[in-house]
Every structure is written in C-alpha cells, then in structure tokens.
Amino acid sequence: METEYDEARFRNEIAEALTGDSAIRMIDFYIGTGERLHVTGAGIRQIGALIRSGSIKIVVDDARLNASGAGAEYKNQLNTLFVRTEWVRTKKELEKAKIEQQRDLENYLKWSPDPQPKPGGSDPSVFRSDSRRRGNLVHEATHALLDLRGFKVYRARNEVAAFLAMMVYLLHKRELESLLLGVFQKPTGLEKRADEVAREKGLYTKLGVRLTRADLQPLLRGVFKEYGDDAFGRTPADGID
C-alpha cells in the first residue's frame, strides 16, 4: 500500500482534534487525593499545541505497533506518537476522495431545486477520524501530558488516567455508546471497566473529581491483569522540549 501522505496537514489535523474539540474541555479529574496527578482538558490541549509545533512528533509505523499490539502508542523517551497507516489518507486516496466529493456535489446541484451549493463541502481530511481513533488519540495524549509534567508514575496509574480521560471525552463527544456497543469495534475489558468507574464516581457529570485507590480498584485490577509485571514499572517522564 502506498504510504505517501501530507505529513504537515496530518499533524495539524491531529493537533486540531486535541485543541479545537469542546468535548476535550470536560476532562478534569485527579488520580489520588493530592494535587499532583491532575488530568485536565487544558493539559490535553497543550499536548495538541506541542504536536502542531513539532515538539511532539507523529510517525506512522505499523511494524512497531504490530509488535506491541497497540492501536497507537506515545513513547516518552522519543516525544513521539506512533500511529497506524489506517489513520491516514494517502495522497492518492485523498485525490480520489476529492473527485468523489466533487461528483456528489455536481449531482446534488443537478437534481436539487435549490440553486445554492450543498453545505459542508470542505476537503476530505488526511486524518481518518472515527470514535475509536479519536479515543485512542486522547488516551495517548494523556500519557504525553504526564510526560510533559515529568510524572514518573507507575504504569498502572498512567494507564488508569489515560483510559478515564478517553471515556470522559467520548461521552461528551456523544460517541461513548457506539464504542461500548461495539458499533465500530468490540470494546476492550479495560474500556468497560473505565466506563464503570467513570459512571460510579461522577466523572461524566462533575469536574475536579478526586479518585482514591479504592475508587480505582476495579480498573486497576484490569490493568494488572492486562499488563502483568509491566504495570508495576514506572514510566519514564523527562519532560518535552
């Protein structure tokens, strides 16, 4: 498959998905009772800005993700977000999409009694955006946020924060139900557990919720089961220049 694509435009569209989406603003909770591990929409938007500036790189690398089994992966030491080829429209695919869009517009104008152009005729995006990929993007941006702040937390807490941020975002994006029902892809056990914790502890309706270890137990158990000994390792966090 041809993988040539507009890298600058793809980077900007990823950045816009994090900085320009109002659903991001509803992310606001603490992991633990202190002030340190505070996950916010403002922080996620900051990650979007760093992607736009190039401080955080985006690399399409199927081989790497096939090895880890992840849909996307943020690597702290490299300040890089790795995504799959399926996230992008190649230049050839983009041209084809533009031709099809123009054909649809011409057919609309031909048969419509309304002489005005069909609304919403913007160019197709390079980023193949859907609820699964947007959710993954917010998940990985949360990992990047903890890296930015230099938080060397246990991987279990890092994953808990990322899954909860993803669930809150998808709920306010009005796409959580389709994810949980498996409309696009069957939800994972960790996504289901994260939804249960978020609902029970009020993350979907309140800002600034403080989550204790006891609150997080159902999700933590799932993380320990999924990641094994890796869940007890501390994720390296050296900041982002």
Domain membership flag for residue 238: no
Residue 24's Cβ-side half-sphere holds a number of Cα atoms within 13 Å equal to 22
Same domain, 62 and 102: no
Q: How many domains does the chain have?
A: 2
Residue 163 lies in a domain: yes
131 lies in which domain range? 7-89+125-225
* 105 & 162 share domain: no
In the listed set 106, 123, 140, which residue is the last one of a domain according to the structure?
123
Q: Which two tokens stand for residue 205?
A: 């309706």
Q: Is residue 241 part of a domain?
A: no
List average pLDDT for each run of 10 residues in the chain, which is 241 residues long.
79 95 94 84 97 96 91 94 93 80 72 59 79 93 94 87 96 82 77 94 95 94 88 70 64
Same domain, 163 and 105: no
Tokens of 122: 């913007």
SS3 of residue 45 by DSSP? helix
Asked if residue 18 lies in contact with residue 10, where contact means CB atoms within 8 angstroms, the answer is no
Cβ atoms of 91 and 123 within 8 Å: the answer is no
Residue 234 lies in a domain: no
Do 148 and 188 lie in one domain? The reply is yes
46 with 95, same domain: the answer is no
If asked whether residues 111 and 195 sit together in one domain, one would say: no
Closest CA to 135 of 18, 13, 226, 232: 18
Do 40 and 148 reside in the same domain of the chain?
A: yes
**Together in a domain, 11 and 78:** yes
Tell me, what's the pLDDT at 136? 95
- From residue 202, alpha-carbon distances to 111, 163, 198 in Å are 50, 15, 6
- Give domain status of residue 233, yes or no: no
Tell me: do 80 and 162 sit in the same domain.
Answer: yes
